[in-house]
Amino acid sequence: MPDVLTLNLETEPSLTHFKVRVLLVDDQLIIAEAVRRMLADQDDIEFHFITDAREAITCANSLQPTVILQDLVMPEVDGFELIRRFRAEEMLAHVPIIVLSAREDPKLKAHGFAVGANDYLVKLPDKLELLARVRHHSNAHIHRLQRDQAFRFLRESQQKLAAANVELQKLAALDPLTGISNRRRFDETLVLEWQRGQRDKTPLSLLMVDVDCFKQYNDSYGHPAGDLALKKVAAVMTENLKRPADLVTRYGGEEFAIILPETDNAGAMNVANACLRQLEKLEIENANALPYSVLTMSIGVKTIVPSKQSSWDALVAAADRALYAAKAGGRNRVVNAED
């Protein structure tokens, strides 16, 4: 095991505060003790050392020092190569490295800087000089960490804000009672599908739906039962939509609308009749709604290939007229505006 001395070890820097943390890599215990004494009276500085350079990378990754003091001449490990290895580590690539060398040699200094060292001191340096260098390089590194942290928090905040906005947009487009899309989503989707149908020359079908005798149902069974009935009606229509682009919306009150892009009139009539039959099969009692005595719906259907000669509001008006015809014709039926 390497000979490691640790004082006041913190395994992780605070999210809001980074302490000066020194790691000395030197095989000579006498050097480690001398440096320790120089830093011992500095309450804001943590000191750690390791004598086995083969463990230096692992130790540094664990400690995350703000500055590394490193000898150049150590058994089994070349000091210059160790600097390169520090620089190759993602978490250590920018940690300042101060070379501690027994020699005042310009060539050694130049080579040390070339492989990634930040500073060069002849050991043992004066205490005041060592403290000045340690603080200078640590402060620069801490400023980098704080900047990176600030950017990271900003990105995270932006991502959370974007996700929250997406959720708000979803909620803003949903009917709170039934959980299906609301009138706002209907208006937005119909305009988009109208434009797409006009561009692609494909049919667009619209179903306007109204729950028959719903006032009588509320009067007879109460508003909580009425709310539950609307949820069941929404579920019936949702179950009969087969494609992702199909959309059922709560148009208002007991009125619903179904948008069927790229759907011809025959396909729209199939969906309408399936919804009508399924609701009737549920046999939701509505005793005062004669002659059926169960909850039913009326549906108006209109299909059109969007063009510049018409408009999406004309599509809505035509489907609405067909719905009124269904209501006037005795309810619980589908009226096709094409007929």
Q: What are phi and psi of 222, to 5 degrees?
A: 95, 160
CA distance 198 to 178: 31
104 is known as an active-site residue: no
Tokens of 68: 């590394």
By three-state DSSP, how is residue 163 classified?
Answer: helix
CA distance 172 to 164: 12
Residue in 55, 76, 167, 254 annotated catalytic: 254
Closest CA to 94 of 142, 57, 58: 142
Residues facing 210 on adjacent strands:
255, 298
Tokens of 1: 């095991």
| 26: number of Cβ within 10 Å | 23
Q: 290 CB contacts (<8 Å, ≥6 apart)?
A: none
Pairing status of strand 4-6 against strand 45-50: antiparallel
Q: What are phi and psi of 245, to 5 degrees?
A: -75, -20
Closest CA to 175 of 227, 246, 240, 224: 227
Which residues are the active-site residues?
254
